[in-house]
Amino acid sequence: MSAIKKERVDFTIGAPEKVAAAIILIIMTLTMFYADITVTARFSMTFLDSLFDGKFASFYMNALETGIAPEGAVYDIGIYIVFAVWGIPVWGLNKLWGIDVMSVGCLLWFKLLLILFTLGTILLLKKIAIKLGFSDKISQYVCYLSGISLLFVFPILVAAQYDIVPVFFMMYGILGWMEQDKKRCLLGFSIAFTMKPIAILTYGILLLLEEKRIRYIILKAVVSLIPVFICKGIYLLNPLNSDSNNIFLAGVVSDLLKVSVPAGNGGFSLCFLVGALIYIAAYMEKLTDNVERNGKKFIWFAFLLWADFSLFLEIAPYWIVYLAPFLVLVLFFNERKINQSLLLDFVVNTGVIFSMIVSFSWVYGGEKTFSYLILRPIYQMINQEEIPTVCGTLRRFQLTMFQPVINSVVIAAVIFVAYLSYRGMKEENDKEEIVIENWHIRIRIIILYGWTILCLLMLAAGSISLNF
């Protein structure tokens, strides 16, 4: 039985909300940027040079020698392949007419790649929602909510980060699994692993739900990692690879292990404790012949895992995008509490972003936010040393002191989202008609406008040399 009936849940999103959302998303697309993608874009040019020069296996060495970044190319090869394919027009223009990869047009071209993968991810979310038993109208609402979710918008439109690419392939694999197409499932996750191995956290949930024989779990995990082994094998033959990609990965793992709770002889990691409990619970859970129920179980466990990862570790500021699709989906498991769940989702979104702004002031609302795209001429004309950060402004008003309080509220909200969605999976729904209140969409759009205006005020502060 579907958890949400077509005739029982309704909403209205008017033309003003759609137009307002489209305008602010376009403005953020054309103006905001973060430096990481400039490095990856230029390394994609290096990748193409290596490929056409017959030095494909020397890419990481060549990247290190370019001096673009002192640590060289630090990501797995899948990301560079995607950027290289998309960057072929830029590479051609650079070779023929000397067009700079750092020009506004070229940077917007690479940002467009992220937007296309985001749209593809949202489309896959809609298909997954239908497979979960959501009505067509609720599935549309999933798309609207995803499009203005702060956990999507900030990593993609503000920071221009590319974790949305492996997220897309993860969603492709999940949809394949729900449609009982194991080849598509394996293909999607395997491609995601070649870009960001962190995606294996999600695949682990799927394996433990579906398979109970340990040797087959290990075998399936190894098979899914074959593309990663091949990619690693090609480049591990070059010793300089260990000076970039592998050392970077080791550094990330080291950072993840820094957060621990004092106890016993060496303390313990709260994140890994909760994660272990989630994996064990998934292993103990049995699947049935009901595709909808099985899908909801998987999405629920994946939501718990990424919430645990996002809340109890010092993660990169853009990894929150891995939580976003699962959070959006579990909100609609309990139709009787949709409005309450959406309120909790708003708390989670704003709280997580606040924490990321405070912890990563140079990424979200940094002084160089507008220095790359269409506002670059204005940025270059003003006193750049006087541009305050959003975090700095919050600190001057002593708002950053509330970060532990806000983090606590976010954790409480996540717990209640998990509780309400779990109840929705287990309980029968009422026959009462449910109407989703309009303010849920409007308040999220207002937040996006408020953020953009605040960042522009920071830019204006530099132009008139104000000392915030």
pLDDT per position as a tens digit, 344-387: 999 999 999 999 999 999 999 999 999 999 999 999 888 777 88
- For residue 417, pLDDT over 70 is answered with yes
Band (6; pLDDT cuts 50, 70, 90) = very low
DSSP 382: S
pLDDT at 73: 82
Percent of the chain with pLDDT over 90: 70
- Whole-angstrom CA distances from 22 to 28, 256, 316 are 10, 36, 28
Most confident of 194-198, 305-309, 311-315: 305-309
- For residue 71, pLDDT over 90 is answered with no
pLDDT at 93: 95
- What whole-number distance in Å separates Cα of residue 183 and Cα of residue 176? 8
CA-nearest of 31, 315, 307 to 159 is 31
pLDDT at 100: 94
- The tokens for 283 are 């292993």
- What whole-number distance in Å separates Cα of residue 74 and Cα of residue 64? 10
Q: Specify the higher pLDDT residue, 69 or 411.
A: 411
Band (441; pLDDT cuts 50, 70, 90) = very high
Compute CA 354 distance to the chain's CA centroid, rounded to the nearest angstrom: 16
DSSP string covering 216-242, please?
A: HHHHHHHHHTHHHHHHHHHHHTSGGGG
- The tokens for 124 are 């896959």
Cross-strand bridge partners of residue 434: 9
pLDDT per position as a tens digit, 87-110: 999 999 999 999 999 999 999 999
- What whole-number distance in Å separates Cα of residue 391 and Cα of residue 388? 8
- What whole-number distance in Å separates Cα of residue 363 and Cα of residue 422? 35
- The tokens for 366 are 């940094």
Mean predicted lDDT score pLDDT of the chain: 89
pLDDT at 383: 78
- For residue 430, pLDDT over 70 is answered with no
pLDDT per position as a tens digit, 163-177: 999 999 999 999 999
pLDDT at 23: 97
pLDDT at 256: 61
Q: Specify the higher pLDDT residue, 251 or 116.
A: 116
pLDDT at 1: 39
Q: What angle do the packed helices 36-52 and 104-131 form, to 10 degrees?
A: 100
Instruction: Name every residue whose Cβ is closer than 8 Å to that of residue 43 and which is 6 or more positions away in sequence.
Output: 63, 66, 68, 69, 73, 80, 83
Band (2; pLDDT cuts 50, 70, 90) = very low
- What whole-number distance in Å separates Cα of residue 463 and Cα of residue 381? 8
